[in-house]
């Protein structure tokens, strides 16, 4: 491969290892998704809860913020001592890093709901649970989606670092490239799909976020 151009090296590697690259791409994406989904299951209900008792919000968000300030490689190393090498450690790390954006956005979205709208729902005889599902969550969902969007983009980057502790993914290809004598092409084969995954995911979730925005729906109906 030394005498080949960079594009020829990339084509040659994909020709012989295309299946492996695709497997690692899917593995990388699933690791990111699982960590964010687990965080959403915890952070969204918690965000709703602290929006009801706002005195606790500063403490809860502060704890999540402390986790966020720990460097990813340091956090992975700490978790590795307790959990061991592999995928589970990376998923837990992504889970911890995803808590803050989802939690803070859920709290913000719930707090931004107009109290007058809630009073109308209460006047119509809605219970607290009905007001939550029929008024508050629909009005806050676009803000919550923005938190999920940020969390998933960060998760994709952390999953790449997770390859250093045996989690696999596209980061594994990047590591192979750094260990090779002339590994520029291999590094690009791992790095470019990672960047593509991050940009594409952010773009798609951005579209979903806009479509779920109540103000956008109202403006379309007005037109």
Comparing 19-23, 62-66, 105-109, 116-120, the range with the smallest average pLDDT is 116-120
Cα 131 to Cα 68: distance, rounded to the nearest angstrom: 32
pLDDT tens-digit readout, 166-197: 888 999 999 989 888 778 889 999 999 999 99
pTM of the model: 0.88
Count the helices and strands in the chain (H runs, E runs).
10, 0
Helices (H), 86-169: 87-111, 115-123, 128-131, 137-161
Domain 20-214 annotated CATH 1.10.3720.10: yes
Q: What share of the chain is helix, strand, coil (3-state, %, to 5)?
A: 85, 0, 15
Task: Say how many residues make up the chain.
Answer: 223
How do the domains of the chain map onto residue ranges?
20-214
pLDDT tens-digit readout, 100-134: 999 999 999 999 888 888 888 888 888 888 888 88
For position 133, what pLDDT does the model report?
86
Looking at residue 135, what DSSP letter applies?
Answer: I
Cα 112 to Cα 118: distance, rounded to the nearest angstrom: 11
């Amino acid at each position: 491969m030394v005498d080949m151009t960079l594009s020829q090296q990339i084509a040659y590697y994909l020709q012989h290892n295309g299946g492996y690259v695709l497997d690692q791409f899917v593995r990388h994406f699933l690791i990111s998704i699982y960590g964010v989904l687990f965080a959403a299951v915890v952070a969204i209900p918690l965000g709703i809860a602290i929006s009801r008792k706002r005195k606790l919000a500063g403490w809860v968000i502060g704890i999540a913020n402390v986790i966020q300030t720990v460097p990813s490689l340091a956090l992975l190393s700490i978790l590795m001592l307790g959990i061991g090498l592999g995928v589970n450690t990376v998923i837990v790390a992504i889970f911890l890093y995803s808590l803050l954006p989802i939690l803070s956005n859920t709290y913000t979205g719930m707090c931004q709901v107009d109290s007058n709208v809630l009073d109308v729902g209460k006047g119509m005889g809605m219970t607290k649970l009905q007001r939550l599902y029929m008024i508050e969550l629909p009005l806050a969902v676009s803000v919550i989606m923005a938190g999920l969007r940020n969390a998933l983009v960060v998760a994709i980057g952390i999953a790449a670092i997770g390859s250093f502790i045996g989690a696999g993914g596209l980061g594994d290809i990047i590591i192979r490239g750094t260990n090779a004598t002339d590994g520029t092409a291999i590094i690009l084969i791992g790095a470019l799909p990672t960047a593509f995954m991050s940009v594409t995911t952010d773009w798609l979730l951005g579209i979903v976020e806009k479509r779920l925005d109540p103000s956008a729906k109202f403006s379309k109906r007005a037109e």
